[in-house]
Amino acid sequence: MKIRDVMTSSVDRVTPGTSVVDIAQLMKKNDVGSVPVCEGDKLMGIITDRDIVLKVVAVGGNVNSISAKGIMNTNVITATADQDVHEAADLMSKYQIRRLPVLEQGKLVGILALGDLAIEKIHINEAGDALSDISQGAHHLN
């Protein structure tokens, strides 16, 4: 099964100039912990709720004056829509991520959440293993 078969294709995104407050509000509204940062359809980075806490709140930063560009992660692990879901589960486990941006020809076309893998019974064990690795902080980078 391909990633395109289970990914979410309607993805809210922010621009590099979006304020941290607006990003946090979007996360709350959509009940998500990460948001892609794009210029048009081109993925520039990703911001997690953890980024906001550690890079802004914990250091006493002014949430009203800091934008996505200042705290986004630019080294983003991505997949393509044509990749197999088993590969996606392996990537998510290896890099300890719960949401994987999906690109086609360099453009953001969707997002694959760990829960999307669990929808298909065949992938429940892989999704569970990936979540277990992520939750335990197992780091498989070599």
Share the mean pLDDT of the chain: 86
Q: Which domains does the chain have, with CATH numbers?
A: 3-136 (3.10.580.10)
Tell me, what's the pLDDT at 136? Answer: 58
Tell me, what's the pLDDT at 63? Answer: 87
Cα 49 to Cα 54: distance, rounded to the nearest angstrom = 9
Cα first-last separation, the chain:
27
Least confident of 7-21, 58-72, 78-92, 116-130: 116-130
pLDDT band at 122 (very low <50, low <70, confident <90, very high): very low
